[in-house]
Structure formats: C-alpha cells, structure tokens
Chain A
Amino acid sequence: MSELTRLTLTAAHEGLAQGHFTATELTQAYLDAIEAAGALNAYVLATPEKALEMAKASDARLASGEAGPLEGIPLGVKDNYAVEGVRTTAGSSILKHFVPPYESTVTANLWRDGAVLLGKLNQDEFAMGSSTETSAFGATVNPWRREGSSAPLVPGGSSGGSAAAVAAHLAAGAAGTDTGGSIRQPAAFTGTVGIKPTYGRCSRWGIIAYASSLDQAGPIARSVNDAALLLRSMAGHDPKDSTSAKLPVPDYEAAVGGSVKGMRIGIPREYRVDGMSGEIASLWDEGAQWLRDAGAEVVEISLPHSKYALPAYYIVALAEASSNLARYDGVRYGERVPGRDIVEMYEKTRADGFGAEVRRRIMIGTYVLSAGYYDAYYVRAQKVRTLIKRDFETVFAAGIDAVLAPATPSPAFGIGEKSGADPVEMYLQDVFTVTLNMAGLPGIAVPAGLSGEGLPLGLQLIGRPFGEEALFSLGQVIEEAAGRFTCPDEWWR
C-alpha cells in the first residue's frame, strides 16, 4: 500500500490541512489501491471520475481556507445509500440498473463536510446476512486469512464490503448500516472500529430500508478517533426522517481520550453463552481489566431477556422487511419480468429479482403477519422487545454507564461454511449485537486482540440512549491497551 493509504483518516485530515499532500493525490492513491484489489470484491462500483472531480473541488476549498471537517477524505459508501446519479443496488439484482435521482441525507452530510466518494461497497442483499455472501455481485473476501492458510474467509456482514475496504486500506473510512449487527460484526471480523449509534441519531432518509424500526447508519473506520470524526458528520436531525432525533450533535472527537474514571461498566452474565470460545471469553476478561486499569468500575449485571433477543429480532425484522420490500413490484423502479397479468408479473419479477435469503425472509415476515398468526408471533415479539429494553433501563437506572460484551461469538469463518440448509446457523452470528438494535441503543465494536489463528477479535461496548460520547472514551481505552490491527499480508495485490 502507498504511504498515503496507510494513514488513518485523522492523520490524512491533518496532512491535507498542512498541505503535505493534496486531496487529489490522496484520492488517486486510494483509486490505485482499489484497482489492484479486485480479488477482494469489496466495491460493487468504483467511481474514479466522480472521486477525482470531488477531490479537485476539495483542493480548491483547502487552498481558499473553506475546508470542511472531512475535506478531501476519500470514503466508500455501502450500496444501500442512495447517491444521486450513481447506481445503487443494495446488493440486489432487482435494483441492478437503479440510479437514484436523489441523495441520502447521511451521504449529503458527508459531501457537505468535504468528503470524497470512491465508490459503492458490497453488502448482503438488502442487508440480509452476516457474511456478504448473499450479494448479487458475489461474496466479498476478508483481507485477513488464518495464519499459514490461503482459505478465503468472509468479512462478516451485511456491511462486509465496507469493513473489508477499510481494513485493506481501500478507503479512509466507510459508511455502513446496522440492523442486527451489520456494522459491528464485520468490524470485529476485519480488525476495524464500527459504531451503530442510537436509533434516531442518523437520518434513515435515502437508505434502502430493511427493517425500519431497527436500521441505523454508522461508520466503519481504522481507529476510534476516525469513527468519531465520521459520526459527527453523518449524524444530525433531518425533517425528512420523522424518527430522527432533534438533538444537537456533540463533538465526538473531544470525547476520545476522555477520562473513564468512575464509570460503571456492566458485564452481563447472560452473555456467557454455551459454546463461547475460550479465546473470546478471555479477551472479554482482558477488556474488563483494561477498563478497570483506566479507573472504571466493573460489575456483573443481569439482562435476563437477552436470550430472547435473537428470536424476537427474526420476527420483528422479517415482518418489517416483508412490508418494506413490497415496493419491488416491477412497476416504479427495478427490474420487471413480464407475465400474463399483473399478479403473474409481480410474482415472476420478485422470484427472479430477489435472491434465496431475501425470498425466505419475506416469506417468514409475511407468515408472521398473516391472519391467525399475527398475535402469536408479531405481537408477542413486540412484547418481548419491551422486556429487552426494560432490562437495559433497569441497569442504567442502577447507575451502569455502559455494558461490555464480545462483539461476535467467533472470529471470521470460511466462505461457504455457514450457508448450508439451516439458515439459523448464520443467524446466531448476531447473538451479541442484536439486543441493542431491539432496544435502540448505541454500540461500538473495537478490535481487541487476535485469535490463535491470527484473526482479529472485537469487543463491544453498549451505551445509554445518545451515550455515544462515553462509548468513544471507553473505546479509546481499549484501542490504547490492545493497539491497532493491520492485516499482515497484502496477498490480493
């Protein structure tokens, strides 16, 4: 990799401000890196012309002293963000020719602050997956490999393209989305930092919906400080999203390096699940010790309904998905397959345009919302969701500032390893991440160590509603104690 792509976003920002290099040079270095990394399949579309045009405009603003907070920083964007005039597919062949005539609010915020678009990043189709294998554009490959092995591993998902691009230095940072763990699990699998902010912190407007009461935008980055810079630009109130929070956006960077002395950190005993690997368990203990060493108090807590979060999620999310994805009917946008009549046209269009996992999830969602099953499944799941949220409210009321947990039950697994006949095997990937989507809470995944086979492992911190600043302070403690993790071998070049 070039010296320029090696820089963190924070360092690149300083280098640009001091005139050590130009936005055009930085952007070109990333475009060259993308060009050489086809084997990773991280990008579904690179936009080099647009990137260089945006970089040139950044250079002009840097020269005239009008630079924004992310001026000249080259980013990748997950393919479920609508970017005006740039093909946006959400990883689905039903949208393979969709070119949005509008811009998502989060990406508009990034461009307002001077960021440069490198291209669109691969993802599981409609963000439904934990491995980026369900993409219509083929799987993304994790830049990390097991020591002494060339077997391809998944980068996690659904924001797997975003995580792989950041880890392989194909972007200074990336925008992802998280519905059940889709930012934090890929961050953990690739040694990167990912934060899912509080529900309502970022606008969902212009992001292709999966499950609207759970979806949130957030960054994936190479350091806690980089993530703080990105979130500050992405977040904010938006009248176009009625669920977006009318709250000022704090200076998250100021919270990085802030004292955690006296913070009370909860260790939920219910997260010690059967079959948790020994290395994850000891990493968790180590993380608790790092926080203690930094002056935090670590206490055991109980979140009694944790084990029901995942099954409740698969009812709520799939019900919302079946409703959200009803719009892909071959009429207003997307692909169309002709039929004898309009119903046959709908049925053929959707059978042809959606992949197997998406069809499966829509059907489950349709089933749990159908007459006779609505109360037994959907209403019950929403009641369980109330109980899950109440578990967190109880511990926060008792003075807990944040919860520490593993990010994933295992390190990255092999491509094809979990795509057998039982879809539930893949769903279990989200066991530690999904709870806080159900409760609307913020969570950050920070790389904390390597597995015995040399793969990154992450820890997760869960905060109070709109408590992202505490997460950045605590995340920084882990980053300083554990160090940063760079992929040792650029085998894809």
Chain B
Amino acid sequence: MSVDQATVRRVAHLARIAVTEEEVVHLQGELNAILAFVDELAEVNVEGVEPMTSITPMTLPLRADVVTDGFYPERVLANAPAAEDGFFAVPKVVE
C-alpha cells in the first residue's frame, strides 16, 4: 500500500503534528519507503495464528483499588508549561 499527499495530511492531523506543504512531499516519499518495506509481511501465512497480546506467559497482577500515592499538586504541576490555581492551564476549549 502507498499513501498520497491527502493521506499524509490526514495522518499528520490525526497525530496532531503540523506539516508544511514542503514537508508533505518529503513525508510522502519517506512513509512510502517504510510502507513498502513492511509490505513484505503480506506474504506470511497467518491463517489460524493468534495475534500476540502478551510476550511473557503471565497474568496481570491485581491490587486493591485504593489511592496509594499523591497529595502533592505542586510537584505534579512543577513541569507544566502553564498552571493556575493548582490546575493545568490550556487555551479555551469550550465556547
């Protein structure tokens, strides 16, 4: 499979990465090179094979659903680009 420029723009938007028109041209070539490479998998017979979901034969551990950590909002916010009154601050989302 290969991608056209409209698909490159659509995927970039899905991935929330701004792309310039010039970048779209380059990306189309690069993405198609990678997709051509992985297309080799089409020749493998995977009839009746289960997709891998866990690499080691283990069951995920369970624990009690209780709070074990927290209560330090200032540390949580310490790396935030913008914070106000103990909250992360973002541009207006709801009109």
Residues of A at the B interface (CB closer than 8 Å) are 97-99, 101, 198-200, 213, 239, 242-243, 245-246, 305, 307-308, 311-312, 314-315, 322, 326, 329-336, 338-348, 350-351, 354, 359-360, 362-367, 370, 373, 376-377, 379-387, 389, 421-424, 427, 439-440, 465
A367 touches B19 (CB 8 A): no
Residues of B at the A interface (CB closer than 8 Å) are 1, 3, 7-8, 11-19, 27, 29-31, 33-35, 37-42, 44, 46, 49-53, 55-56, 58, 60-61, 63, 75-76, 78-82, 88, 90-93
CA distance A397 to B56 in the complex (A): 16
A and B contact pairs by CB, cutoff 8 A, 25 listed: A101-B79, A200-B58, A243-B58, A245-B56, A311-B37, A312-B38, A314-B38, A330-B81, A331-B88, A331-B90, A333-B81, A334-B79, A336-B81, A345-B90, A348-B18, A350-B18, A354-B17, A362-B15, A363-B11, A366-B14, A386-B49, A386-B52, A421-B33, A422-B33, A440-B56
A315 touches B38 (CB 8 A): yes
B15 touches A439 (CB 8 A): no
Q: Which of these, B1, B56, B63, B92, contacts A243 with CB under 8 Å?
A: B56
Q: Which of these, B1, B14, B79, contacts A98 with CB under 8 Å?
A: B79
Q: How far is the CB of B12 from chain A (nearest CB, A)?
A: 6
B19 touches A440 (CB 8 A): no
A329 touches B58 (CB 8 A): no
A347 touches B52 (CB 8 A): no
Residues of B within 8 A of A365 (CB): 15
CA distance A362 to B27 in the complex (A): 12
Closest to A366 in B: B15
B12 touches A384 (CB 8 A): no
Residues of A within 8 A of B1 (CB): 373, 376
Residues of A within 8 A of B11 (CB): 363, 366-367, 370
Residues of A within 8 A of B92 (CB): 341-342
* New contact pairs (18) apart from A242-B61, A347-B18, A363-B11, CB-CB < 8 Å: A243-B56, A311-B37, A332-B79, A332-B80, A332-B88, A333-B80, A340-B91, A342-B91, A347-B17, A348-B18, A350-B18, A360-B30, A360-B34, A365-B15, A366-B15, A377-B41, A383-B52, A421-B29
B51 touches A383 (CB 8 A): yes
Q: Which of these, B19, B38, B46, B79, contacts A351 with CB under 8 Å?
A: B19
Q: Which of these, A339, A359, A364, A380, contacts B41 with CB under 8 Å?
A: A380
Q: How far is the CB of B90 from chain A (nearest CB, A)?
A: 6
Given contacts A350-B17, A364-B34, is CB(A331)–CB(B91) below 8 Å?
no
Q: How far is the CB of A126 from chain B (nearest CB, A)?
A: 14
Q: How far is the CB of B26 from chain A (nearest CB, A)?
A: 8
Q: Which of these, A245, A345, A348, A382, contacts B51 with CB under 8 Å?
A: A382
A423 touches B55 (CB 8 A): no
B16 touches A329 (CB 8 A): yes
Residues of B within 8 A of A239 (CB): 61, 63
Residues of B within 8 A of A376 (CB): 1
Residues of A within 8 A of B38 (CB): 311-312, 314-315, 377, 381
CA distance A367 to B51 in the complex (A): 19
Q: Which of these, A314, A333, A439, contacts B55 with CB under 8 Å?
A: A439
Closest to B57 in A: A465
Residues of A within 8 A of B7 (CB): 367
B79 touches A342 (CB 8 A): no
Given contacts A99-B78, A360-B27, A363-B27, is CB(A384)–CB(B46) below 8 Å?
yes
A424 touches B31 (CB 8 A): no
CA distance A99 to B75 in the complex (A): 10
Closest to B93 in A: A342
Residues of A within 8 A of B16 (CB): 326, 329, 343, 346-347, 350
CA distance A239 to B80 in the complex (A): 27
Closest to B95 in A: A341
